[in-house]
Amino acid sequence: MSISESLAGEIPEYVGPSAGPSVEPPAIGIVEQLTNALTGLFSVQDAQHMVARRTTGVILRGTLLGDADEVYPVIAQRFRSLGYTPTLQRDRKSDIIVAAEGLQVARRFSTPAWVHGLLLVLTIISTTLGGAGFQGYTLDLISREVLIRHNWAYLWTVIQIGAPFALTLLLILGTHEMGHYFAARRHNVDVTLPYFIPLPITILGTLGAVIFIKSALTNRKALFDVGISGPLAGFVVAVIAFCIGIRMPQISNANIGLYNMFGPFGFRGLGMPLLLQGIGAVLRPDFHNLGLQITQQPVALAAWFGMLLTVLNLLPMGQLDGGHVTYTLFGRAAWTIATIALVALVFLGLTVFPSLLFYAFLVLLTGLRHPPPGNDITPLDPGRKLLGYATLVLFFLIATPTPFLTRPY
């Protein structure tokens, strides 16, 4: 997952006089300076001083004199010299420049490389414990044998049992985040290394990983590439791992942790998305209950969880990866899509899969509406649009509304 920590999330989108930010009489000095800076680039018809919740600035309406991809970088450079950050937008009547006071400079999450390395090591440990937990090696049992009885051979057994699950899951998560990283660097976007999030109390031992975008995404192409590269890269690794995993020998007690977790609800297996059902039918036609039998193979089980995390990241909301992609495809209509998706997410969290409520909280924390890129006029090229629509179809092929199948005794 990639989250922008730049001021892009604080620049208000112009939505018209009735729903937009409050308007005051223009500050003559700065309006004239901004207007003069637009000479030869933008014909200004109207200018208004803007006061929004967390920023102030100027809204300039008029006509763009040239191609947005070529003109916007020049406007941005000129405005930066005046201490303003522009966002180029368009409505049915005219082109709009929202000039927010302040520069898009964010350094809140500048951390040394060793912090990222430490988090990765801790996550390797916690996911190894999670993988061992699926086979019944609980934290209290491990701590009693190792910390009290000093049974180091037992610890080595735990590592051997948990490592296949942990390494598979972290390979999927790491590939996902590095997909974001390299796409951002290709567009000259400043971005952090991945932050892996260890959490031993969860069944996976982790909450995943995240990178922070530290500079402006200048157009929809950059936003699309950064948003889509992570899920697609992780998806490819998850599919390969799943194909390998279901062909590997099964372990008889590999799913005992899932049975223990659900207790009286009676664990019956994992919900299988359409794509994985198809792969299972081709590679393992002898599996009569794919959703239960893959839980007996740690690599396949980790691949299934990696696919689930990919689906959650593709939810079309806020600054999740799916939110990036949806905004580049549909613009402000993505706000309505995000609201509908949030309602569905909360409903499923309350009725089917409580962990979804965490993602609903995360979306609300980072903002349900996706902030616009600097140049919000130039649309995606046909190739990116086709890939974006294909990814929306992929979402439904790898999603399942009931990840865990249970029944009361």
Q: How confident is the model over 54-86, as pLDDT tens digits?
A: 678 899 999 999 999 999 999 999 999 999 999
Looking at the fold, whether 60 and 176 belong to one and the same domain comes out as: no
Q: Which of the listed residues 70, 101, 132 is the one where a domain comes to its end?
A: 101
pLDDT for the residue numbered 250: 85
Neighbours of 387 (CB within 10 A): 17
Q: Give how many domains the chain has, as a whole number.
A: 2
314 and 402 housed in the same domain: yes
Cβ neighbours for 316, distance < 8 A, ≥ 6 positions apart = 322, 323, 325, 326, 334, 337, 338, 341
Mean per-residue pLDDT for 308-334?
90
Q: Is residue 355 part of a domain?
A: yes
* Average pLDDT rounded to a whole number, residues 268-277: 92
Give the H or E element holding residue 83. none
14 and 71 in a single domain? The answer is: yes
Within a domain: 127: yes
Query: Residue 18: which pLDDT band, with cuts at 50, 70 and 90?
Result: very low
Nearest to 234 by CA among 180, 166, 186: 180
- Cα angle 374, 380, 381; round to 5: 140
Same domain? 209 vs 250:
yes
When the pLDDT of each residue in the chain is averaged and rounded to a whole number, the result is 85
The edge-to-edge listing of strands for the beta sheet with 2-4 is 2-4, 206-213, 195-198
> Mean pLDDT, to the nearest integer, of 182-186?
94
Instruction: Give yes or no for a contact between 46 and 60, defined as CB atoms under 8 angstroms apart.
Output: yes
| pLDDT, tens digit, 9 for 90 and up, residues 346-403 | 988 888 777 778 778 877 877 777 778 889 999 999 999 999 999 999 999 999 888 8
* Model confidence at 171: pLDDT above 50: yes
**Domain co-membership, 70 together with 149:** no
Is residue 106 situated within a structural domain? Answer: no
Token pair of 360 as six digits: 């609903």
Report yes or no: 205 and 119 within 8 Å, Cβ to Cβ.
no
Region 267-277 average pLDDT: 90
End residue of a domain, out of 39, 72, 101: 101
Pairing mode, strands 2-4 and 206-213: parallel
Q: What was the pLDDT predicted at 2?
A: 60
- The helix/strand/coil state of 343 is helix
Provide the pLDDT for residue 26. 47
Residue 7, pLDDT above cutoff 50: no
Kindly state whether residue 398 falls inside one of the protein's structural domains.
yes
Two tokens, residue 33: 């300076």
pLDDT at 6: 42
Buried b (16+ CB within 10 A) or exposed e, 227-243: bbbbbbbbbebbbebbb
Q: Are residues 375 and 239 both part of a single domain?
A: yes
DSSP H or E segment with residue 100: strand 95-101
**What pTM did the predictor assign?**
0.86
pLDDT for 102-149, tens place per residue? 876 555 556 888 999 999 999 999 999 999 888 888 777 788 877 777
Kindly state whether residue 389 falls inside one of the protein's structural domains: yes
Say whether both 256 and 142 belong to one domain. yes
Query: Are residues 391 and 303 part of one domain?
Result: yes
Provide the 10 A C-beta neighbour count for residue 330: 14
Same domain, 213 and 343: yes
Domain assignment present for 108:
no
User: What residues make up the domain containing 167?
Assistant: 113-406
Region at 70 (left for phi over 0; alpha for psi -120 to 50; beta for the rest): alpha
Q: Does residue 397 sit within a domain? A: yes
131 shares its domain with 262: yes
The answer to whether position 107 is within a domain reads no
Amino acid identity at 354: P
Q: Is the pLDDT of residue 295 over 60?
A: yes
- Pair 137, 226 in one domain: yes
For residues 193 and 329, membership in a common domain is answered with yes
Mean predicted confidence (pLDDT) in 260-264: 67
> Of 40, 72, 101, which closes a domain?
101
Secondary structure class of 316 (helix, strand, coil): coil
Q: For residue 195, is pLDDT > 90?
A: yes
Structure tokens, 20:
């937009």
DSSP string, 203-221: SSSEEEEEEEE-S---BHH
- Average the pLDDT over 81-93 and give the result: 89
Integer CA distances (angstroms), 35 to 8, 70, 97, 165, in order: 22, 18, 11, 59
> Does the pLDDT at position 12 exceed 60?
no
| Rounded (5°) CA angle 124-125-127 | 65
φ, ψ (nearest 5 deg) of residue 171: -65, -40
Q: Are 210 and 202 in contact (CB under 8 A)?
A: no
